[in-house]
Amino acid sequence: MAFKPLANRVLIEREEEITTTATGIIIPDNAKEKPLTGKVLAVGVDATDEGISEGDIVVFGKYTGTEITLDGKELLILTSDDILGIIG
């Protein structure tokens, strides 16, 4: 299913969660926090004006966005204002 964000919205797939520490300790599911970085999958017209493009890895706030499920994947819709920066 195709999804095209409107205006300044951005569709993001969160990066994979780390399940073990550097020393090999396994982190249980209930103790994990959702990652605050993700890959941009689709960009609204106004968000491209701010320099955000598909494929960018971005950092966003902890309590921002709307979670949706498309094609069995949990994704996040943010406004470009919710994005704190681009990595790389």
pLDDT in tens, 26-81: 766 665 567 799 999 999 999 988 899 999 999 999 899 999 999 999 999 999 99
Specify if 23 maps to a domain.
no
Provide the pairing of β-strand 66-70 with 83-87: unpaired
In a domain, 3, yes or no: no
pTM for the structure as a whole: 0.81
Decide if 38 is inside a domain. Answer: yes
pLDDT at 19 (0 to 100) = 66
Looking up residue 59, the CATH number of its domain turns out to be 2.30.33.40
Q: For residue 15, what pLDDT band results from cuts at 50, 70 and 90?
A: confident
Say if 4 falls within a structural domain.
no
Report how many domains make up the chain. 1
User: Which range of residues forms the domain containing residue 68?
Assistant: 9-17+28-87
DSSP SS3 for 23: coil
pLDDT of residue 24: 79
Cβ-count burial of 33 within 10 angstroms (0-12 exposed, 13-18 middle, 19+ buried)?
A: exposed
